Structure 1
Amino acid sequence: MSEVAIEIKGLLFDMDGVLISSIASVNRCWKLWAAHYGVADAQNVQIAHGVRAVDLIKGYKPGFTEAEVTEGLRYIEDLEIADTEGLKVLAGVRELLASLPPERWTIVTSATRRLLLGRLKAAGLPYPDRLIAADDVVNGKPHPEPYMKGAEILGFSTKGCVVVEDAPSGVGAGVAAGARVLGVLGTHTAEEIYAAGATWVARSLESVKVTVVEGGLRVEFEAV
C-alpha cells in the first residue's frame, strides 16, 4: 500500500464497474440476446467488459448488415434498460461525485447514451451535462478517441486528467490518450489492471478524496 497525492485538472470516469455495477444484468441480457440471434452456445456467452455493444454485435454476427446491427443494438439496449435487478452504486461513489465541481468531471463509457442515462437514473446518480457515450465516437475503447473527447469537452488536455477505469480495454484507452489512469478493483485483478498500463490501482473509490484547489483538484488515495 502507498499513499498518493496529485494535483490534476479533471477526472474522466468510466461508468459500469467504476460508478455502478450492473454486471449481472449485462451477463443475463447478452445471453438472451445471443439466444434470440442464434449464437452458438448462447447460455455460455462471455462478454468482454468495457467494449461497445455495437462492436460485440459485429464480433458475434460478422455477416450482419448495418440495418441488422442497428436492430440488434436496439434489442440489447431494451433488454438492459429493463433489467435493473442487482444494479448498485459502488462504494464511495455518491460522496466522491458530490465533492466534485461539475466542470471538473465527466463520464466516458462504452454504453450507448440511452443506456447510460437509463442506468444513471435507475441508480439515482448525478451526471454531467456533457459526457461521452458509445454513440459519440467512431472508435470505441481501447482506442484513445473516447478519452481524448472526454478531456476535450472539459477543455483540458488528457495529460492534465486522470482516467478512472476498471477494465483493461478502458485502461488501454486512457493510456493511449496520454492520461494517467487510476484503476479500481471489481471486475479485474490489480495485476490485470497494472498489466494494461494503469498508473495506480485503488481498492475502491471509497478511498479516493478530492479537494478543490486553485486551478484544479487535489486527489488523494491509497494505491495497492
Structure 2
Amino acid sequence: MPTPPLTVRALLLDMDGTLVNSDAVVARVWRGWAVDKGLDPDEVLRVAHGRQGHLTMATLLPDRPMEQNHAENRGLLAQETADTEGIVPVPGAGAFLAALEDLPHALVTSATPELAAARMAAAGLRMPAIRVTAADVSASKPDPEGFLKGAAELGHPPEECVVFEDSGAGIAAGLAAGMPVVGVGPRAAEHGPTVRVPDLEQVRATRLPDGRVRLTFDG
C-alpha cells in the first residue's frame, strides 16, 4: 500500500543517521570506550545513537558522578570531531537538502556545533542556516526541547512541523513534541515513526501555492 503524503509548514532534520552516515566513527569511538569500561560494545552503541555522550554514559553507568561523564565526554567529542574517516551522506541527502533550500527547515542534532560542522563538511552536505545543537538545549533527546526550539526558530507551531530521524531517542523526542516523524533507515523501524523510509532517495518535497510543503514517499 502506498504511503500517504504529509503536508506541513516546516521540516526539522536530525543529522547522524538521517543526513550523514557517521556509523563508522561512532562505532570506533564508542566501542573503544565500551572495552575500556568493561561493557558490551553492542549495547553501548544501541544506547549511544541519537543521544549526547554524557547522557549515554549516565544511562550505562548510573552510579558515576555527572561531572565525570561530562569530563570524559569532552575527550570523546574531540576524538569524534577529528575523526571523519568513513563519513558519507545518507543516500539522497544532498538532493533532498537542495530541494529544501528555499523551504522552511532546520537542523536539530545532539552533536556540538563543531562536530556538526565537521560531519556535514566531511559528507559534502550544505549546512542549514537554522540549526539547534547540543549547545542550544538543556535537555537532550529523547526530550523534545530541541525540536520545539527548532519549530519556534522557524516560526511554526509544532503540529505543523515534521521531524526526520533515525534513532529511538530522536523519534521519541519528535513524537513527544507533537510532530509526525519520518523514520529514516533500518534503526528507525522498531521505534514507531509515523512514516518509514530506507533513505532520503524515497522522499520528495514540493512547495504548495499556500506555502505549505507536501512530502511524498516512493514505494
Q: Same fold (TM over 0.5)?
A: yes
Q: Does 1:205 align with 2:200?
A: yes
1:17 and 1:186 in contact (8 A); partners too: no
* Structure 2 unpaired stretches of 5+: none
* TM-score scaled by length of structure 1: 0.87
Structure 1 consecutive aligned stretches of length 4 or more whose deviation exceeds 3 Å = 41-45, 59-62
Q: 1:23-172, aligned counterparts within 5 Å?
A: 23-34=23-34, 38-41=36-39, 46-47=44-45, 48=47, 49-61=49-61, 62-64=63-65, 66=67, 68-102=68-102, 104-172=104-172
TM-score by length of 2: 0.89
Letter of the 1:46 counterpart: V
What is the letter of the counterpart of residue 65 of structure 2? F
Q: How many residues get paired?
A: 215
| Whole-angstrom CA distance in 2 between matches of 1:134 and 1:114 | 10
Once residues 65 and 140 of structure 1 are traced to their aligned partners in structure 2, the CA distance between those partners, rounded to angstroms, is 14
CA RMSD of aligned residues (A): 2.0
The 8 Å contact of residues 104 and 154 in structure 2, kept in 1 or not, is answered as: yes
Range moving further from structure 2, 101-110 or 15-24: 101-110
Q: Percent identity?
A: 36
Q: Equivalents in 1 of 2:44, 2:127: separation in Å?
A: 29
| Distance change in 2, residues 1:44/1:147 (3 Å) | closer
Give 3-state SS (helix, strand or coil) of 1:55's partner: helix
